[in-house]
Amino acid sequence: MTRYAKQTRLLVAVDCIIFGFDGTEMKLLLVKRSLEPEKGRWSLMGGFVDINESFEKAAARVLKELTGLENVYMEQLFAFGEPNRDPIERTASITYFSLIDIQQYEQQISHEYHAEWFPVKKIPSLIFDHRDMIEMAKEKLRYKAALHPILFELLPPKFTLPQLQNLYEGVYDAIMDKRNFSRKVLSTGLLVKQKDKDKLSSKRGAYYYKIDKRKYLTKFNAFLNFVPNPQNLK
Amino acid sequence: MTRYAKQTRLLVAVDCIIFGFDGTEMKLLLVKRSLEPEKGRWSLMGGFVDINESFEKAAARVLKELTGLENVYMEQLFAFGEPNRDPIERTASITYFSLIDIQQYEQQISHEYHAEWFPVKKIPSLIFDHRDMIEMAKEKLRYKAALHPILFELLPPKFTLPQLQNLYEGVYDAIMDKRNFSRKVLSTGLLVKQKDKDKLSSKRGAYYYKIDKRKYLTKFNAFLNFVPNPQNLK
DNA sequence: ACAAAAGTGTTTTTGCTACACCCATGG
DNA sequence: CCATGGGTGTAGCAAAAACACTTTTGT
């Protein structure tokens, strides 16, 4: 006996929700779908899982094809499996969300897939259930980032506190007090102050910080609490 | 065009991690596998996804087959898809964990599947990657229950505070102060004190409480914080 | 009467919030 | 010299933790 007889077999795809932060707002990388059905419409970057490939590998492959990036933060989001989510043939989609440093994204690759960054507030009409996927990813990102220091993954290796605060404010649609924010962030011990400053966005310049990789790995699963409770909603 | 040509199709199964609480410790419901390979070994309850069935439906079906229960708390855990996780043929497994009131579990059904409750601390050797699934489920349960009032799902409709505290202590392997615990729990406003007492586990008897369903649904997504921070590990 | 578990209140500590002024620099 | 954004300290408050005694009742 080498097969489970009589059982249905399904197509299985991966779809990647790729977050980037341009210093001002959160963005998502979308592509123009290259195959029927719905050819030409915007969609998440995805692909079928190969016969001997794990889901993680498939998602990493798809991400690399599109962005040129490897070893980036990537996490399984959810398995979407409604029977009719793809009208052509039943296809399950295992979704992954990733956080990338938008500056490392290789521009030239985008032409091949007609990729474009869209502000998460202005996502165009998408195929299938891709909008649901994005909504879920946004929620999970907020959930996770409230407890773990994952948002650093969206920033370049050297970043300033104002940049970091902008990022948190964008993700949570909140205004935070810079004094409280810096105290909280620095109290984690995860940041190492650099000697040089970023002079681009202000006259005085803001000190760069780097992540303390060792502590980052150690403390990653220590629950944090970055998000202030009161409804500081914008 | 009605099919995506050339792509591999996979078997897709669901597996259920079923948690129960017997008043003293957390347990998991396991079955003796009825088909080859690994026939006769302990495993999670699972089944293949039918052609026109969503993953959620499949998981609910499998759960009902085994326990007779419907409308219980159930949440997608993770999609396991390593190419060789099933030696016979590549099979993806979409896992769900559920929380059931162990007292409502129908005993007679267990014979059909040779089902048995095992303390989570004493799980026997399992097939495939089922142990990984359980580890992940335990972790997610701790994670989720730290923020949301899901553990009530494991208790009967009427329960006492000592029972509830036992449950939390079991899940987190921690000792909690009963004064702080009751204050915290009652401050959520989720519990309604009953007039009668449970006289089984003590001479004095402990008051029963019920969930305020309306508030439960309203407050479910309001982050809670049940678990004390310091390492009160046993 | 005593053992065993239930129930309850206060003090201390900690962490979060709110808040305002000075600094450095490029123009 | 001044406008702009960066950087820092403190006081008040609320939530969490630590902690001990009384109550009930079956045996």
CATH at residue B78: 3.90.79.10
**CA distance linking residue A15 with residue A144, whole number of Å:** 20
Check whether residue A49 and residue A127 sit in a common domain.
yes
In a domain, B95, yes or no: yes
Inter-chain CB proximity B89 and A4 less than 8 Å: yes
Q: Name the band, by pLDDT with cuts 50, 70 and 90, for residue B111.
A: confident
Domain boundary (B133, B167, B193) is at: B133
Is the model's pLDDT at B233 over the cut of 50?
no
Stretch 198-227 of chain A: residues touching chain B, C-beta under 8 Å: 223
Phi-psi group of B128: left, alpha or beta (phi > 0 → left; psi -120 to 50 → alpha; rest → beta)? left
Distance A141 CA to D5 C1' (A): 29
What's the whole-number mean pLDDT along residues A201-226? 88
Please check whether residues B124 and B173 belong to one and the same domain.
no
The span from the CA of A188 to the CA of A218, in Å, is 11
Q: Are A81 and B94 in contact (CB under 8 A)?
A: yes
User: Is the domain of A103 the same as that of A162?
Assistant: no
Percent of chain B residues past pLDDT 70, beyond the cut: 94
- Across A65-79, B33-47, B88-102, least confident range: B33-47
pLDDT tens digit string along B117-172? Answer: 999 999 999 999 999 999 999 999 999 999 999 999 999 999 999 999 999 999 99
**Quick one: average pLDDT of A46-60?**
97
Torsion angle in degrees (nearest 10) through CA of B93, B98, B103, B108 = -20
**Chain B interface, best mutation among A6, A34, A49, by max B CB count within 10 A:** A49
Angle, CA B195 vertex, CA B194 and CA B196 arms, to 5°:
95
Q: Which residue has the higher pLDDT, A228 or A173?
A: A173
Q: Any idea which of A114-118, A120-124, B70-74, B221-225 has the lowest mean pLDDT?
A: B221-225
Looking at the domain assignment, is residue B234 inside a domain? no
**Euclidean distance between CA atoms B227 and B174, whole angstroms:** 9
Per-residue pLDDT at A231: 47
Note the pLDDT of residue B221.
79
Q: How many domains does chain B have?
A: 2
pLDDT of A106 reads 79
Statement to judge: residues A75 and A167 lie in one domain: no
pLDDT recorded at residue B108: 78
Instruction: Over range B3-24, report the average pLDDT.
Output: 91
- Structure token pair of residue A163: 């940049």
What does the mean pLDDT of chain B come to?
Answer: 92
Residue A117 covered by a domain:
yes
Return d(Cα B23, Cα B186) in angstroms, integer: 20
Instruction: Give the C-alpha separation, B165 to B8, whole Å.
Output: 49
Of all nucleotides in the shown strands, which has a C1' nearest the CA of B224?
D15
Inform me whether the C-beta atom of residue A91 falls under 8 Å from chain B C-beta atoms: yes
Cβ contact (<8 Å) for B4 and A81? Answer: no
User: What is the model's pLDDT at position A233?
Assistant: 47
Are residues B24 and B100 located together in one domain of the fold? yes
Assess A139–B contact: CB distance below 8 Å, yes or no.
no
Please give the sequence-ordered ranges of beta strands (E in DSSP) within chain B, or none if there are none: 9-21, 26-32, 42-43, 45-48, 73-80, 91-100, 116-119, 159-160, 191-198, 206-211
Task: Clarify whether residues A96 and A64 are in a common domain.
Answer: yes
Q: How confident is the model at residue B70 (pLDDT cuts 50, 70, 90)?
A: very high
Mean pLDDT estimate for chain A: 92
Is the pLDDT at B96 greater than 90? The verdict is yes
pLDDT tens, position by position, A2-52: 567 689 999 999 999 999 999 889 999 999 988 878 889 999 999 999 999
CA atom of B170 to C1′ atom of D20, Å: 25
Over residues B195-202, the mean pLDDT reads 95
**pLDDT value for A197:** 97
Q: Please check whether residue B3 lies inside any domain of the structure.
A: no
Q: Tell if the pTM clears 0.75, that is, is over it.
A: yes
Domain span including residue A103 = 11-133
End of a domain among A87, A107, A133? A133
Q: Looking at residues A175-181, what average pLDDT do you find?
A: 95
DSSP string, B25-84: SEEEEEEE--SSSSTTSEE-EEEEPPTT--HHHHHHHHHHHHH---S-EEEEEEEE--TT
pLDDT digits (tens, 9 = 90+) for B164-195: 999 999 999 999 999 999 999 999 999 999 99
A175 pLDDT above the threshold of 50 = yes
Q: Which residue is nearest to nucleotide D6 (CA to C1')?
A: A206
Q: What percent of chain B has pLDDT over 90?
A: 79
> Which has the closest alpha carbon to A151: A188, A197, A205?
A188
Q: What average pLDDT does the segment B199-217 reach?
A: 96
CA distance B220 to B207: 24
Phi then psi dihedrals of residue A95, to 5 deg? -100, 145
Please judge whether B81 and A36 are an interchain contact, meaning their C-beta atoms are less than 8 angstroms apart: no
The answer to whether residues A80 and A157 belong to one domain is: no
What percent of chain A shows pLDDT beyond 70? 94
| Structure-block tokens of residue B167 | 């449950």
For residue A211, is it within any domain? yes
- Quick check: is A3 in a domain? no
Residue A78 pLDDT:
99
- Tell me, what's the pLDDT at B148? 93
Domain boundary residue, one of A102, A133, A164: A133
Considering only the beta carbons, identify the residue of A76, A82, A223 that sits closest to B54.
Answer: A82
Which pLDDT score, from 0 to 100, does residue A199 have? Answer: 95
